[in-house]
Amino acid sequence: DAGVTQSPTHLIKTRGQQVTLRCSPKSGHDTVSWYQQALGQGPQFIFQYYEEEERQRGNFPDRFSGHQFPNYSSELNVNALLLGDSALYLCASSLGDGLRTEAFFGQGTRLTVV
């Protein structure tokens, strides 16, 4: 049973460009969350998708947008990249969002903006 898979693993983009990161959730999971982890920091919640809709959003600008497909996979899009967007982007999947629900994380996409 494959866990959460993210692609690509590494990416280098130029300031001002746009980027799309992809995530396939663990089999049977219907909820996908995205986190940004800057170097030396803990992950910060970006948003969560369930049934193809954004259900909750963290404190991130509109440059960050996402999508969830009918097969529950998800994309994170970042427009007008800034140097400060350089980070590890983690995708987490779960079945629902209950208090005790375990979130399974992928290995992340390391984005470098130059």
Partner 1 sequence: AQKITQTQPGMFVQEKEAVTLDCTYDTSDQSYGLFWYKQPSSGEMIFLIYQGSYDEQNATEGRYSLNFQKARKSANLVISASQLGDSAMYFCAMREAPGGGKLIFGQGTELSVKP
Residue 32 burial by CB count (10 A; 0-12/13-18/19+): exposed, middle or buried?
A: buried
Q: Does 66 bind partner 1 (CB under 8 A)?
A: no
Considering only the stretches 13-21, 64-72, 79-87, 99-107, report the one whose residues sit in contact with partner 1 under the rule CB under 8 A: 99-107
Considering only the stretches 22-30, 70-78, 79-87, 89-97, report the one whose residues sit in contact with partner 1 under the rule CB under 8 A: 89-97
Q: What are phi and psi of 96, to 5 degrees?
A: 80, -170
Interacting residues with partner 1 (CB under 8 A): 31, 33, 35, 40-45, 48, 55-56, 58, 88, 90, 92, 94, 96-108, 110
